[in-house]
Amino acid sequence: MITVEKYHGTGNDFVVVEADAPIEDRASFARRLADRETGLDHPDGERVGADGVLFLKLDASTAPTRVEMTLVQPDGSVAEMCGNGARVVATWAAGRTGDREFVIDTPAGEYPAEVGQEGVAVEMGEPTFDPDAVPTTLDEPLIERETEGLTVTAVNTGVPHAVAFVEDVAEIDLEAIAPPVRHAAVFPEGANVTVASERTDGSVFGYDQRTFERGVEGETRSCGTGAVAIVAAAHELGRVETDQSVPVHPPGGRLVVTRTADGAILQGPVEREFETTVPADGAVAER
């Protein structure tokens, strides 16, 4: 049996496992536990299954402490980066070390993170619109261009996103419009599809967000890299200013994204749901 924990960041939920756990097939393990109908369930859990499994390796010999993060998604693929996942990682590491500052190592690079009273903040690096880095098949950045019926801007915030600004995200049939864009020929490695609409809470400007995630192959309650992609695209289009803190509201809660002069910062809450044990092959008992 393997000890696992369950966390979520604004509804984006993950199973957390020590990287040295004796799991022979990580892809199969993740597919089984993440399944929304037959996956991991617990009385203290908010939902059955998960948006992925985080395999974590902590190195407390460094200053700041480093954590190696590998996210295996529900389809068995490995995601290069996950903003909410990184926030979960920092919370998990803080619980083990008492530290508040970490460096998270991912396939997409290093991401400094800090656990504070207002939640977890992750330095997300420099968003890029470069067609080779997104990647796209174009010779120039894909900015406000119609793609499979949706006008999108392509940006990589650790993973590729196609961002569309719409009148009202609640009126969008995301499960219908997102898959053609996600699989569009212009995105040779696929893309997450994120839609955003402006909102104002009193005098506070922000965005509503919905994201169809590659690897999940469906809409998630929150997507950190998607929130950063929205603000990065809005900044590129002149809709937000450098160093402006922008609230972003996915279905699962509230995030804050700041587009700095040389990167972006993602901040938001994380909650620990439960700890339990599961078989090493990820099979769960029938309910």
Q: Cite the active site residues.
A: 82, 223
Q: Is 117 annotated as a binding residue?
A: no
Q: Is 225 annotated as a binding residue?
A: yes
Q: Is 38 annotated as a binding residue?
A: no
Q: Residue 172: CB partners within 8 Å, gap ≥ 6?
A: 166, 195, 210
Count CB neighbours of 118 within 10 A.
10
Q: Is 156 annotated as a binding residue?
A: no
Q: Are 182 and 191 in contact (CB under 8 A)?
A: yes
Please give the Cα distance from 69 to 9 (Å, whole number): 16
By residue count, the chain amounts to 287
Q: Is 84 annotated as a binding residue?
A: yes
> H-type helices in the chain, by residue range?
26-34, 83-97, 174-182, 224-236
Q: Is 214 annotated as a binding residue?
A: yes
Count CB neighbours of 148 within 10 A.
18
Q: Is 224 annotated as a binding residue?
A: yes
Report cis status (omega within 30 of 0) of the bond before 135.
Answer: yes
Q: Are 252 and 222 in contact (CB under 8 A)?
A: yes
- Residue numbers in the known binding site for substrate are 12, 73, 83-84, 192, 213-214, 224-225
